[in-house]
A and B are shown apart, each in its own frame.
Chain A
Amino acid sequence: MAVDVFSVPIFLVVFREALETVIIISVLLAFLKQTLDGPNRDVKVYKKLVRQVWLGTGLGFFLCLVIGGALIGVFYTAGGNRWENSELNYEGAFSLIASVIITAVGVALLRIGKMQEKWRVKLAVALEAPIRTGGRKGVIKRFLEKYAMFALPFITVLREGIEAIVFVAGVTFSAPASAVPLPVIVGLLAGAVVGYILYKSGSSTKLQVFLVASTCLLYLVAAGLFSRAVWYFEQQKWNTLVGSDAAELGDGPGSYDITKSVWHVNCCSPESGGGSGWGFFNAILGWTNSATYGSVISYNVYWIFVISMFVVMRFREVKGHWPLRKPKSSVAWSRSPPNELDEKSTRDSMSRLTRNLTISPSWYESQLALES
């Protein structure tokens, strides 16, 4: 939406998904390195498994590109200009969708630092599974077992990638097609670079600063989108009422509904005639030269919602339960198998678990056995 060629939300979504993927890969690689690359380990097996990781990643990524390309292609050819009459209603709906998506994704971005841990948990579970079911191996299970190091990144990349595509598609509804490619590429690169730094340095403080900053930006964008969605709906109503495209009236009287106007300055429009700078302002901060009661109130309501959301989440993180709910028994999880626990306690237990995770020799042995 911003400056035609660079959509900020798309960049952030792609960046986030790329980062998550890189983190998974880095966890896998670190895991392999740690367990198989020792002086007494089998270099051949290690290299083979590393190759599996990269192969899975590459294939997953490739498939994502194909699916994404097809989806977006279909969208832009089929979509066309079918919505001209109520164009602003669609823009409003898409802005709303984009805003909701960003709001949901943004939280995760803040917690990317914790993702490595999450993936160690997943890895541990994944590695446990085939061995537990070792007695009744089907073909697929056998395959997955044998190529766990391929399957895991493959499925992860595919999943993250499709997620990103859905998000990008959602967000691009409100952006011109030309605004898509650049942020996607830059997002991928930035995600990869940041992931690599994370993998290499292990320091997460600077990363967190970066994440916090980008998340703040993301929510500013989302607030603007939310407010703009309301604005679009109102403007569509107005255009319908006026009967001609009010945009043709420029910025002046009649281009907006004065009875709903909070402020209107006859300049600085992000919409009409070369609003370039103001367009950027509009994309990042939700600026409009013609604010309505709806757009101003929705902007503020959005922030109240976001603030409450973070406060509540923090409350839960600290207290272990939602506000106004009874706290769960703090020992319950320790008596039950992890797969029956609620997500939160699983995460807690697993994080404790995996911080000290090591490969059991039996798994290692089974791998060797499969090799032979």
Chain B
Amino acid sequence: MAWLRPPSLSSLVRQLGFLALASAATVKYDFEIGWVTANPDGMAERSTIGINGQWPLPRIEANIGDQIIVNVLNSLGDQSTSLHFHGLFMNGSTHMDGPSQATQCPISPGSRFTYNFTIDQPGTYWYHSHDHGQYPDGLRGPLIIHDPDSPFKDDYDEELVLTVSDWYHDQMPGLLDFFISKANPTGAEPVPNSALLNDTQNLKISVEPGKRYLFRVINVGAFAGQYLWFEGHNMTIIEVDGVYHQQAEATMIYLSAAQRCSFIITARNDTSENFPIVASMDTSLFDTLPDDLNWNVTGWLTYDSTKPFPDPAVVDGDYEPFDDWTLVPWDNQTIYGEPDQSISLDVIMDNLDDGANYAFFNDITYRAPKVPTLYTALSSGELATDATVYGKYTHPFVLEKGQVVEIIVNNIDPGKHPFHLHGHHFQAVWRSEEEAGTFQDSGVTSANFSEVPMRRDTFVLYPNGNIVLRFLAYNPGVWLFHCHIEWHVQSGLMATFVEAPLDLQKSLVIPQNHKDACSAAGVPTVGNAAGNSVNYLDLSGQNVPPGLIPEGFTTRGIVALVFSIISGLLGVAVIAWYGFVGMADQPAVEPAGAGVVSPADAPVVVAEPKGPTPTEVSLVDGAGGGGTRT
């Protein structure tokens, strides 16, 4: 079977430069997704999701303008899957974006699915599963788009891809069961077991003196942001999330989950030393710090492998990473004009009546629709512009083509959240400091916004702070906006943008293999979010999250309380009754010890005379305190 062969890269262009002028090619991958065993940190073997029997995963690599075809076969057996190509615009191919129940059906075990799209953007990306919080089990890998016309192509000699990641020893399904359960009422995210560099530890990267290296760094982790620094070397940042920016010098950068950064490092001219590379997980995200957790991972720039590989120096005080918000885009694109649509989202963590902790945008925690949102958009005719049809809990916003859209995100939570928008680079026009409160209350206006804002696709919101993002709705499709901490994706910190749905209806054709995936998964391809294809405005039966926790007493509580009070009163009444009747049939006790014995009570001799001194106890009928002998 062709499927089982190693990756057949029928026309993979591995290096740029020489082939810069080659015409657009087709890059084809056959990915059989299945379980392998891996132990990247040397601490625990675990089942890991690999591709074609290998893990770490193969890199998807192409040139700008190439067509990429990824044929997927899900051989996991016990889990569905999907692939999302993080950061790609997918202009004209929103159905290839990957999130299950948004732009496609999940790929059931044994099913095949083909992703086919053309890339028109350069830079550093990655691909990962977008189904049921699956990717931290291993299904995430780099996706690099080379650009023969890069403005920086003369500034480096060689490219290197470096991934940083957190790593769990347990599998996601079990961790998620715990994470979203009543046993975890505070919503404490599982803490990773270790950190990885290029899916290993103690990585050694050989460098040649004086050479200029372009490092494409991707945080493919599930949760932890990572501080990254190279001892003895500065980084010259040129690209973040696929957007060229004007060169900026940094000694340390911070990459949240899903962020990418390309920077140039110029190797030193002497080979007397090797230099540690350190990636350090952002422990401020963790609710607990287990004693056995090493949140750092170390690698080395190897100038001479015979020389020692020193331990990294301890960093004193707070980390001071480069502030990505200060970057200036290479093209000097100024801020988009006043928004046509402004959307304000408050990030809230709260518990629902199953006791588990959920994440909310405003008052909505995401629930997948019964029909993938894209298919609703395609099948609902004119009603596609009515957000109602997408269901309340996909948190849909319908955007018109060409609009300037503004998203204000207020963090009502004391954690950092890296927000990611599918299908676009947004302008990060404003980011507050920590604890600044909501944007609306902070007194900041558009006058404070960056005039030439940096652009990327994943941007960190600080604890109890706010961010303002703007983007152009030029890309018809269904695009998710969510926190890229995978835990929060699963606990519902996600909204859906349905962009120019009527345009989609005109142009988009869903391939048969996508429809086949739906029938294999038993997911309808027509209808509103509730699967209703007759009345699109009738959302009864849509997937809903658990209910709100009631304030105060419910009927149940009142009934219970009333019953308890009644039993208490009844009990007290019975005790009182017993106490008083008990006395009533007993003559009053008098200190003199006299009592009345009715004649019916015959005198009884109880003590028989014994021993040498016979004694009698006299019993007297009738009243009288004095002893009377009989």
Which residues from chain A sit less than 8 Å from chain B, CB to CB?
26, 30-31, 34-35, 106, 110-111, 113-114, 116-117, 120, 124, 128, 131-135, 199-200, 202-205, 208, 211-212, 215-216, 219-220, 223, 241-243, 246, 249, 253-255, 257-259, 262-266, 285, 291, 296, 299-300, 303-304, 306-307, 310-311, 313-314, 317, 334, 337-338, 349-363, 366
Contacts and interface: CB of A to CB of B under 8 A. Distances in A.
B584 to A, nearest CB: 9
B583 interface: yes
B510 interface: no
29 contacts: A31-B593, A110-B578, A110-B582, A113-B583, A114-B589, A128-B617, A200-B591, A202-B592, A204-B588, A212-B575, A219-B571, A243-B183, A249-B185, A253-B351, A253-B549, A257-B182, A258-B355, A262-B557, A266-B551, A299-B567, A299-B568, A306-B575, A317-B582, A353-B606, A353-B617, A356-B595, A357-B593, A358-B628, A363-B615
Interface of B: 182-186, 350-351, 353-355, 357, 549, 551-554, 556-558, 560-561, 563-564, 567-568, 570-572, 574-583, 585-597, 601-602, 604, 606-608, 610-620, 624-629
Contact of A253 (B350, B580, B593, B612): B350
Given A242-B185, A303-B567, A355 B594 contact: yes
Contact of B355 (A134, A257, A317, A354): A257
A53 to B, nearest CB: 15
A259 B564 CA distance: 20
B593 A120 contact: yes
Nearest to B569: A303
Nearest to B584: A208
A310 B575 contact: yes
Contacts of A255: 185
A306 B568 contact: no
B619 A310 contact: no
A353 B552 CA distance: 61
Contacts of B592: 30, 34, 202
Contact of A310 (B560, B578, B586, B604): B578
A351 B589 CA distance: 11
A337 B570 contact: no
Contacts of B586: 113-114, 117
Nearest to A111: B582
B354 A259 contact: yes
B183 A202 contact: no
A351 to B, nearest CB: 8
A314 B350 contact: no
A212 B579 contact: yes
A216 B354 CA distance: 39
Given A111-B582, A212-B576, 17 more contacts: A113-B589, A120-B593, A132-B610, A203-B588, A204-B583, A204-B589, A208-B580, A212-B580, A219-B575, A241-B182, A263-B553, A299-B567, A311-B574, A314-B578, A361-B629, A362-B613, A362-B616
B337 to A, nearest CB: 43
B606 A265 contact: no
A208 B579 contact: yes
Contacts of B568: 220, 223, 285, 299, 303
Contacts of B549: 253, 258, 264
Contacts of B602: 334
A356 B619 contact: yes
Contacts of A208: 579-580, 583
Nearest to A120: B593
A366 B613 contact: yes
Contacts of A220: 568, 571-572
B596 to A, nearest CB: 8
Contacts of B608: 337
A24 to B, nearest CB: 13
A249 to B, nearest CB: 7
Contact of A215 (B354, B579, B594, B619): B579
B560 A296 contact: yes
Contacts of B578: 110, 310, 313-314
A310 B577 CA distance: 9
A307 B577 CA distance: 11
Nearest to A317: B582
Given A204-B583, A208-B580, A358 B355 contact: no
A117 B563 CA distance: 40
A366 B627 CA distance: 17
B361 to A, nearest CB: 19
A254 B589 CA distance: 58
A133 B612 CA distance: 9
A111, A249, A357: most-surrounded residue (chain B CB, <10 A): A357
B597 A356 contact: yes
The 9 A-B residue pairs with the shortest CB-CB distance, nearest first, are A254-B185, A358-B627, A263-B557, A355-B595, A253-B351, A212-B579, A303-B567, A258-B355, A303-B571
Contacts of A35: 627
Contacts of B611: 131-135
A253 B582 contact: no
Contacts of B589: 113-114, 116-117, 202, 204
A307 B574 contact: yes
Contact of B556 (A133, A135, A263): A263
B435 to A, nearest CB: 22
Contacts of A264: 549, 557
Nearest to A291: B560
B615 A360 contact: yes
Contacts of A111: 582
A211 to B, nearest CB: 6
Contacts of B606: 337-338, 349-350, 353
B185 A262 contact: no
B87 to A, nearest CB: 36
Nearest to A335: B604
Contacts of B619: 353, 356
A17 to B, nearest CB: 19
Nearest to B618: A358
A266 B583 CA distance: 46
Residue of B184, B581, B585, B617 with highest tally of chain A CB at under 10 A: B617
A357 B624 CA distance: 10
Contacts of A202: 588-592
B569 to A, nearest CB: 9
Given A34-B625, A202-B591, A215-B579, A306 B574 contact: yes
A219 B577 CA distance: 14
Contacts of A120: 593
Given A134-B612, A306-B574, A358-B628, A263 B591 contact: no
